[in-house]
Structure 1
Amino acid sequence: MKKINKDILTWVIIILFFTLIIIAYNQVNNKYTDFGEDAALPAELHPIVEEKKDILLKKASKIGITVIITEKVRSIKQQNELYRQGRVKEGDVVTHAKGGESYHNYGLAFDYALENQEGELIWDIHYDGNNNDKSDWFEVADLAKDMGFTWGGDWHHFKDYPHLQMDFGLSIRQLKNGLRPKAK
């Protein structure tokens, strides 16, 4: 009988030990903060996205490409207005995301354009302003992807060439439910 109690106690200690290790590991490696469904939407880009955006602009500049950020964080209202474009408002459809369904709403995305030497914004995805026989849009996208961004030009259902985002492994559903990536 004492042997059985000793064996049970040994297993309980082993299980507790591994449970504590798992809890400690998750605390150290937890990349997300859960604010719940009523989490406030950010007014600025996530700090990591902002930092990598700035690095991207410098890298592009070094290869003769001037990138202009045209849009960062959008409110739900702004996103809904964009969604109406091409549907109930004049213009082309520019998004398939309603308010709350865009990574822009969570500070995890931005849009860009190129600027030529005359200071004009360029939206032509074939533009080669640095004259290296490569599309500047695709050069910027490649730099961004190497830095961990997802590029809207790679999407199959809707090509969004100006769009770059970092989702940190979070779905829109998770973001809507208040989960946010930690700053660092």
Structure 2
Amino acid sequence: MCRDGHIVEGPIDTVVAALERGLVPVVHGDMALDATRGGVVCSTEEVFGHLLERLPGATAGRRRPGRMVLAGEVDGIFTADPQVTPGAEPIPEITKASYEGFKAGFGGAHGVDVTGGMAKKVQQALQYSEDYSIDVIVCGGLVENNVTSALLKPSAKCPGTLVRADPSSVQNEENSSAGGCTIC
């Protein structure tokens, strides 16, 4: 449920139950009821943000996610839209410091995307990385084994693009192990 475009009630109980059972919750954006507007589109990143704000912290004996995996149509983040710009180059890592040099190439989406396209996805990923000390992996969900690699091999070179607020930050190994806490 949303109020004026912002999520006020979401799947927190289901996600906590999944994490307590050692499962990897898979969430996605969708249409949502809105008390003010009637209905809105909630992006995957907005759902993640809602969950990150509300997940019980380590003080309650639970771990916060160590990483977030965003799987989409293209294999990571590129210097331009690879579906319309053949020479677009993949960007292996984006940090808060490097973002300014790349952001001109982050337009909207290839098709219709009312959630803000790649530009907003990168901004939100950087914000979540900074606010919650998590790594965000943006990878192609249509490429075999990409999501599996992003989930199970966090210390290996990740598929797609790694987004992290600070290039010197290292994932907390407790949260990034295969049995750790990840949301996809």
For the pair shown, which has the larger CA radius of gyration, 1 or 2? 1
Structure with higher helix content: 1
Report the TM-score when normalising by structure 2.
Answer: 0.25
Report the TM-score when normalising by structure 1.
Answer: 0.25
